[in-house]
A = this chain, B = another copy of it.
Amino acid sequence: MDLKFYQDLVVPAQTKIVMIIMDGLGGLPLEAGGKTELETAFTPNLDALAKHSALGLTVPVGLGTTPGSGPGHLAIFGYDPIQYQIGRGAMEALGVDFDMGPNDVAARGNFCTVNSKGVLLDRRAGRLPTEESNKLAELLRTITIDGAEFFIEPVKEHRFAFVMRGSGLGDDLTETDPLTNGVPPLPVRALNQNSLRSAELANQFVWQAGKLLANKQPANMILLRGFARFPVIPMYQQLFGLNPAAIALNGMYRGVARMVGMTVLDVDGNTLADEFATLEKHWGQFDFFYIHVKKTDTCGENGDFEGKVRVIEEVDALIPRLMALNPDVVIVGGDHSSPSLLKAHSWHPVPVLVYSPFVRADGVAEFGERVCEHGSLGLVPATHIMPIAMANALRITKYGA
């Protein structure tokens, strides 16, 4: 989709769109000829919704391409996931709910162990316990360098997110991690003129970190890799004229939502029901809601077919609460497939339904991979779902006279 082309057709309206993303929704049967997780689940409410919906299968990146969560979400949000890439450092910062801005350069950080000559002995400092990392992160936060702010956010074990904030900082930088022990960490080098200042700041930070950590055991140094700014991406407000909100329990999804302009709502609790309660609470304030369901993917990646079935059934049981709010358009889909059979993300297209009074409904009271294959949306690039939803929300005007 050409976003600029589309943006020019957007008109205001009072309608509301809800997008429910079950992470890794698409699946496979465990045995040839069997049913997928979604086909197995008892989903009377989704089935009833499907009957009045257009069904299809979304392709997040391309046929035969397995998407990570970042590209999978950008695609269903309407953005070409090859044109708009989220670097590894930025993903790490999103994962800990760090509010990245346009002046930030993020990196993945590791605590590591070096010998007295600065040679790497252990790139992960023995997978340092998270509590110790937290203390060391506090120490690193005391580092100050003129002209930039630094943020250190512990992730897990030896890992942390590192962010430099300052004006005009480029991200075309080499990494300090040599990816092997027995050699010293590398200096950060700028790969272009715009990143010279970033390289200098990063190197100063690493040098100071080394001094601060010198007497610690086993973590006496840090490594930085995957330097990345946020992609410059059109916001939902400008692109679709929407006032959007996100309901998600995990940092990364909250982060990607924030990246496209969504207000990330606080969820009081950590269940699916709590997420739907958040939707009810804020229903009057926004006209687009993204609700993220994490556990479908977790179960898929764990090879837990039955668990994934149960999570889908849990979502199904909450659908009446959504429909009681009388939304104009409802999208139920996924960011990618995660079949329990493969215990991983996969390349398979993802079931999707688009409900509205104005879709050409398929009239099939079932939501599953096979009925979606034969649905009226066909095999559709995920990026087309938002335009279809916007049209059904009567938020798009005619193209040409």
Footprint of B on A, CB under 8 Å? Answer: 1-2, 5-6, 9, 28, 32-33, 36, 52, 57, 61-72, 81-82, 85-86, 88, 91, 339, 341-342, 344-348, 357-358, 360-363, 369-370, 373-374, 376-380, 384, 386-391, 396-401
A215 to chain B, nearest CB (A): 34
Contact B342–A400 (Cβ < 8 Å):
no
Contact B63–A384 (Cβ < 8 Å):
yes
Residues of B within 8 A of A63 (CB): 377, 380, 384, 387-388
Chain B residue with minimal CB distance to A395? B64
Tell me the bound Cα distance from A340 to B373 in angstroms: 29
Chain B residue with minimal CB distance to A57? B376
A300 to chain B, nearest CB (A): 13
Among A32, A360, A386, the most chain B Cβ lie within 10 Å of the Cβ of A360
A316 to chain B, nearest CB (A): 21
Tell me the bound Cα distance from A85 to B71 in angstroms: 32
Could you say which of B9, B66, B88 contacts A391, with CB atoms under 8 Å apart?
A: B66
Contact A6–B361 (Cβ < 8 Å):
no
Could you say which of B339, B380, B401 contacts A69, with CB atoms under 8 Å apart?
A: B401
Contact A400–B86 (Cβ < 8 Å):
yes
Contact A65–B387 (Cβ < 8 Å):
yes
Across the A-B interface, the 3 shortest Cβ-Cβ residue pairs: A64-B387, A68-B400, A71-B400
A25 to chain B, nearest CB (A): 13
Could you say which of B1, B62, B72, B345 contacts A62, with CB atoms under 8 Å apart?
A: B1
Knowing A28-B360, A358-B28, A358-B341, say if A400 contacts B64 (CB, 8 Å): no
Contact A398–B52 (Cβ < 8 Å):
no
Residues of B within 8 A of A65 (CB): 6, 9, 387, 391, 396, 399
Tell me the bound Cα distance from A79 to B164 in angstroms: 42
Could you say which of B72, B82, B85, B348 contacts A360, with CB atoms under 8 Å apart?
A: B348
Contact B70–A400 (Cβ < 8 Å):
yes
Contact B88–A398 (Cβ < 8 Å):
no
Residues of B within 8 A of A401 (CB): 68-70, 86, 88, 91
Contact B396–A66 (Cβ < 8 Å):
yes
Contact B32–A52 (Cβ < 8 Å):
yes
Contact B399–A61 (Cβ < 8 Å):
yes
Knowing A52-B32, A347-B391, say if A399 contacts B66 (CB, 8 Å): yes
Chain B residue with minimal CB distance to A376? B373
Contact B369–A400 (Cβ < 8 Å):
no
A95 to chain B, nearest CB (A): 9
Residues of B within 8 A of A88 (CB): 401
Tell me the bound Cα distance from A377 to B64 in angstroms: 11
Among A2, A379, A380, the most chain B Cβ lie within 10 Å of the Cβ of A379
Tell me the bound Cα distance from A348 to B54 in angstroms: 11
